[in-house]
Amino acid sequence: MTTPVYQNFINGHFLKNQSGETFAVKNPATDEVIYHVEVADAFVQNAAIESAKQGFATWSAMAPIERSRILLKAVELLRARNDELAKIEVLDTGKPWQEAECVDVQTGADVIEYFAGLAPAQVGQQQMVGEDFYYTRKEPLGICAGIGAWNYPLQIACWKSGPALAAGNAFIFKPSEETPLGAIKLAEIFIEAGVPAGVFNVVQGAAEVGQWLTQSADIKKVSFTGEVGTGKKVVASAAGSLKDVTMELGGKSPLLVFDDADISQAVSAAMLGNFYTQGEICTNCTRIYVHKNVYQQFIDELKARTEQNIIAGDPMDPEVNFGALISKNHHDLVMGYIDKGISEGATLLTGGKALSPESAPNGYFVAPTVFTDCSDDMTIVKEEIFGPVMSVLVFEDEDDAIRRANDTHLGLAAGVFTKDIKRAHRVIHQLQAGICWINSYGNSPAEMPVGGYKQSGIGRENGIETLDHYTQTKSIYVGMTDIESPF
């Protein structure tokens, strides 16, 4: 059986490359190739820039409210095609249908809707300076680029393009080579909604294509989601043309569970923050600090619920709530971390092995894994694993927990479980993280800014401030009085 071959999406249509180079995409739950994609060669790259230039000229000249109407139409189409798009995400990523059906497309659509609503509300300032005055305009940057990770492919494409397009920019998006189809579908939807050709282009390929985006002097901003190491390369490369950057990078986030917490709720948060999307979420609370008084209760409930309630298998089965990791390579990397946890002396509470569920025997599954007796210097406690591996640590007092939670070069997210309202805020205010939850974990609505402290990122996505990150301010001074000149 032949599999489909997708081309790059440029100037409102598919464009064949000249090199003939393609890459294969596998379903992580079956290890089977499901389609091929053409790589964006130099011909496609040049066409993408030309297309985006034209797209920008048309789009930026439209009234914001007109752009808003078109983007809202795209939101409607995204929601109407929820199931078709969610299925693509399941087949590309290996995540459960149960999640994709209600999260991936919805949260993507929400963000475009949010920024579409804000577009006509963006205003400049006016201020008198004596009899003269100045005013400011919020102008789009021009051509912006997005480079995405593979864990939430369509959602990431929406989160980046939503504010960029709302502010009047043109966009070139490169999805991860592992998950290229969702962005193509978004491009088709934008066209159907009435976004002019050239405003949203999709280029395909691996690191080289990403590097080209970061280097191109025609591109004014790059918004990147991926690993810290790659993010550093992107920033270095973007410096060559002094591009603006938004960096959404990795984390090793702490969750602090105090002895007055609702333990069942805290266990729910810990499980969601380690096993949802089989652990492949940047904000995951992979370091769980539990107060010594409730430690035993916490791990007893955690073990029981992890062993009883997690169902791994064919991700399209609606009963399955735990999917396959993205690739064989990533599977081996995660298993390597588990071996390291064992060899460095942590105790395996549950999991710790590869899985081969009956309904998906060839998938890249790793059992939900919990380590106890962990110490802060263990590799599994220090490094981002990006898989279903949780480390549980014990603490005795608040200050100690805060110090240990902050003892990392990363600062993406953090959480606190306590019923003491003063302690909740006192602790959260001291945690060095950009995205924090109190008695909750993982929710990320369109209205709330998200992004990292320390090496977890630069800039923010979502929330009102993000629109500013896709505009530049032009100040215009207006002389109402005669110029005083010594010449």
Applying CB under 6 A, among 183, 186, 249, 338 the residue interacting with ligand NDP is 249
Q: How far is the CB of 326 from ligand NDP (least distance, A)?
A: 8
Within 8 A by CB and 6+ apart from 251, the residues are: 282, 283, 284, 384, 410, 411, 412, 413, 433, 452, 456
Q: Residue 174, interface with ligand NDP (CB under 6 A)?
A: yes
If the CB atoms of residues 118 and 247 are measured against ligand NDP, the closer one turns out to be: 247
Q: Residue 388, interface with ligand NDP (CB under 6 A)?
A: no
Q: Are 19 and 5 in contact (CB under 8 A)?
A: no
Q: How far is the CB of 92 from ligand NDP (least distance, A)?
A: 12
The piece of 76-84, 170-178, 182-190, 361-369 that touches ligand NDP (CB under 6 A) is 170-178
Q: How many residues bind ligand NDP (CB under 6 A)?
A: 29
To the query of whether residue 248 is one of the catalytic residues in this protein, the response is yes
Annotate each residue in 443-482 with x if it binds ligand NDP (CB under 6 A) or - if it does not, as one string: ---------x----x-------------------------
To the query of whether residue 26 is one of the catalytic residues in this protein, the response is no
The piece of 8-16, 225-233, 305-313, 418-426 that touches ligand NDP (CB under 6 A) is 225-233
Q: Residue 282, interface with ligand NDP (CB under 6 A)?
A: yes
To the query of whether residue 139 is one of the catalytic residues in this protein, the response is no
Residue among 144, 158, 282, 374 flagged as catalytic? 282
Q: How far is the CB of 174 from ligand NDP (least distance, A)?
A: 6
The piece of 60-68, 210-218, 334-342, 349-357 that touches ligand NDP (CB under 6 A) is 210-218
Q: Residue 42, interface with ligand NDP (CB under 6 A)?
A: no
Q: Of residues 128-147, which lie at the interface with ligand NDP (CB under 6 A)?
A: 147
Q: How far is the CB of 389 from ligand NDP (least distance, A)?
A: 14
Q: Where do contacts with ligand NDP occur on this chain (CB under 6 A)?
A: 147-151, 174, 176-177, 206-207, 210-211, 214, 225-227, 230, 233-234, 248-251, 282, 384, 386, 412, 452, 457
